[in-house]
């Protein structure tokens, strides 16, 4: 019988049990629930609410329960939730002391605590997973500084760029992702325990002490807000969704580049799949699945936003639905990052093909405009001149390199012999040395900054994320 059935005459309808019970899902939180209970019990003893000997018994039993759960010895299928399951088990093993564990506590503050402890750990591991991924990206960038790629806007020829530059674009996206997670961590890292059901308690508890035991630097200020709040889960899911945007865009490019229509790279065989019907197939299922899982992670965010949107204060059972969403999204994001890191290590870039494609499509057009600008031609005029030059080349089936100086001069007297030097692919890439640009010098600086970021974090990361 449930611990709270004192006021009921009738048993719970079996349908209601099935409908309301969540232990099979939230059992994932068992070790956080136990850590929280141990800290709570210690605080109760320190405040003279329960006896020292009782705490010792409680802790001993909780540790045994923890081990039994780890060993799969506890059946959660008939348990209401993880908190009830553990409390019932504690009382079964340690009747008198066990009956005191829930003093000055509610499942409402308890679940917020469990989730926050869970998230502290998940955020830390996710950040270090991103860190490893970024290291891989940096290595790939360093190995491909001199590879030229047709840079696109609208998936049309735009300007040639270094492959390293393109890869590093993703490095910085994931750098922001870590920043978002660590920012979310600050709000996760505030202890909710002691808010009780919603109003606090008349018992002389010491919330600061519990927080200290659980390494929280602060406690929540308002007990009603504490048990109503799921912002920290929403923030985490939105950070996860943004990570998935980035992964999905990267996957999309890998899929396109692996297609024979681009042929910019080959995915390692270990990371490819075949067809049950067509014997020749080699498919990019891994990046496709990551792209697909993005939908699931967004769905978790949208679901929780919708669940929370009209809830009156304070706790409502609707909020229980957050766990499945949270666990699933956290796992999918981590797994996607890990497998994608390995996939990246198993790519073979077809650098010749990239270069060949980079040479198509009037790649130097913008460079010619900038050339004219350096000769004093106003930008808009220069743009028009080169636009006409491109038109003429298309109509006469020529490209920039096969025009004589006389032909150039027909479009503008400002063209001089040295215009020819501006037309090579290398030149176009090399000289874009504005900060953050694709030029060699800028790229070296960018790589240096990226390495520094990772090194600084490597030292301070565990501190920040404590």
**Could you tell me if 113 and 192 are in contact, meaning their C-beta atoms sit under 8 angstroms apart?**
yes
**Residue number with CB closer to ligand ARG (34 or 344):** 34
Encoded tokens for 333: 């994001």
113 or 286: CB nearest ligand ARG: 113
Q: Which is nearer to ligand ARG, 189 or 314 (CB)?
A: 314
Closest CB to ligand ARG among residues 317, 380 = 317
Distance in Å, CB of 227 to ligand ARG, minimum: 9
Instruction: Read off the tokens for 177.
Output: 């992702």
322/320 Cα distance (integer angstroms) = 5
Is 434 an annotated catalytic residue?
no
In the complex, least distance from residue 315 CB atom to ligand ARG, rounded to whole angstroms: 6
For residue 256, the minimal CB distance to ligand ARG (Å) is 42
The nearer residue to ligand ARG, 85 or 343, going by C-beta atoms, is 85
Shortest reach from residue 40's CB to ligand ARG, in Å: 15
Cα 3 to chain centroid, rounded: 39
Q: CB of 115: closest distance to ligand ARG in angstroms?
A: 8
Q: Would you list the DSSP string of 126-154?
A: HHHHHHHHHHHHHHHHHHTTT-EEEEEET
Q: DSSP string of 407-431? A: HHHHH-TT--GGGGGGGSHHHHHHT
CA pair distance 34, 55, nearest whole angstrom: 13
Task: List 265's β-bridge partners, or say none.
Answer: 349
322's enclosing H/E stretch is: helix 322-345
**Residue number with CB closer to ligand ARG (66 or 114):** 114
Provide the minimum distance between the beta carbon of 48 and ligand ARG in the complex, in angstroms, as a whole number.
28
CA distance linking residue 10 with residue 24, whole number of Å = 25
Query: Least distance (Å) from ligand ARG to the CB of residue 22?
Result: 5
Alpha-carbon distance 23 to 2, whole Å?
Answer: 13
- Measured between alpha carbons, how far is 256 from 300 in angstroms, rounded to an integer? 28
Structure-derived torsion over alpha carbons of residues 184, 189, 191, 192, reported in degrees to the nearest 10 = 10
Among candidate residues 13, 77, 154, 280, the one labeled active-site is 154
Candidates 275, 434, 460, 462; catalytic one: 275
What does the binding site for ligand ARG look like in residue numbers (CB under 6 A)? Answer: 22, 26, 81, 107-108, 111, 315, 317, 319-320, 323
Separation between Cα atoms, residue 316 and residue 121, nearest integer Å: 26
Shorter beta-carbon distance to ligand ARG: residue 18 or 156: 18
Instruction: For ligand ARG, give the closer residue by CB, 111 or 137.
Output: 111
**What is the closest distance, in whole angstroms, from the C-beta atom of residue 253 to ligand ARG in the complex?**
39
Residue 357 in contact with residue 150, Cβ under 8 Å?
yes
Is 223 marked active-site? no
Other CB atoms within 10 Å distance of the CB of residue 448: 10
Cα separation of 173 and 242, whole Å?
A: 9
Asked if 181 and 127 count as a contact pair (C-beta separation under 8 A), the reply is yes
CB 50 within 8 A of CB 41: yes
Q: Which residues, including other chains, have CB under 8 Å from residue 299's CB and lie 6 or more apart?
A: 325
453 contacts 461 by C-beta, under 8 angstroms? no
Cα–Cα distance measured from residue 250 to residue 246, given in angstroms and rounded to the nearest whole number: 6
Residues marked active site are found at 154, 275
């Amino acid at each position: 019988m449930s611990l709270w059935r004192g006021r009921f005459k009738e048993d719970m309808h079996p349908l209601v049990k099935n409908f309301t019970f969540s232990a099979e899902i939230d059992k994932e939180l068992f070790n956080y629930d136990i850590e929280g209970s141990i800290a709570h019990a210690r605080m109760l003893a320190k405040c003279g609410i329960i006896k020292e000997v009782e705490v010792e018994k409680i802790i001993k039993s909780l540790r045994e329960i923890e081990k039994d759960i780890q060993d799969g010895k506890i059946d959660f299928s008939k348990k209401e939730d993880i908190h009830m399951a553990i409390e019932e088990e504690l009382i079964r093993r340690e009747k008198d002391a066990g009956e005191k564990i829930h003093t000055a506590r509610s499942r409402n503050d308890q679940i917020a605590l469990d989730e926050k402890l869970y998230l502290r750990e998940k955020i830390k591991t996710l950040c270090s997973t991103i860190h490893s991924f970024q290291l891989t990206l940096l290595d790939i960038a360093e190995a491909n500084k001199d590879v030229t790629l047709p840079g696109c806007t609208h998936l049309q020829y735009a300007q040639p760029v270094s492959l390293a530059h393109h890869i590093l674009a993703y490095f910085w996206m994931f750098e922001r992702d870590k920043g978002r997670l660590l920012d979310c961590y600050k709000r996760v890292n505030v202890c909710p325990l002691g808010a009780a059901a919603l109003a606090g308690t008349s018992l002389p508890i010491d919330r600061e002490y519990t927080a200290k035991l659980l390494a929280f630097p602060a406690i929540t200020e308002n007990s009603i807000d504490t048990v109503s709040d799921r912002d920290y889960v929403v923030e985490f899911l939105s950070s996860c969704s943004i990570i998935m945007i980035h992964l999905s865009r990267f996957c999309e490019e890998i899929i396109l580049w692996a297609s024979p229509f681009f042929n910019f790279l080959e995915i390692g065989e270990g990371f490819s799949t075949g067809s049950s019907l067509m014997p020749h197939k080699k498919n990019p299922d891994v990046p496709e699945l990551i792209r697909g899982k993005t939908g699931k992670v967004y769905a978790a965010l949208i679901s929780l936003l919708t669940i929370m949107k009209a809830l009156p204060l304070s706790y409502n059972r609707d909020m229980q639905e957050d766990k499945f969403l949270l666990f699933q999204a956290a796992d999918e994001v981590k797994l996607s990052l890990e497998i994608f890191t390995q996939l990246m290590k198993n790519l073979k870039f077809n650098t010749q093909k990239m270069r060949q494609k980079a040479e198509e499509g009037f790649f130097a057009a913008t460079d010619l405009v900038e050339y004219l600008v350096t000769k004093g031609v106003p930008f808009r005029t220069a743009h028009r001149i080169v636009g006409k030059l491109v038109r003429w080349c298309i109509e006469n089936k020529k490209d920039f390199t096969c025009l004589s100086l006389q032909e150039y001069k027909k479009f503008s007297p400002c063209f001089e012999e040295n215009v020819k030097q501006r037309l090579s692919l290398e030149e176009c890439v090399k000289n874009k040395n504005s900060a953050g640009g694709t030029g060699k010098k800028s790229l070296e600086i960018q790589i240096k900054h990226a390495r520094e970021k990772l090194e600084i974090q490597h030292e301070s990361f565990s501190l920040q994320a404590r």
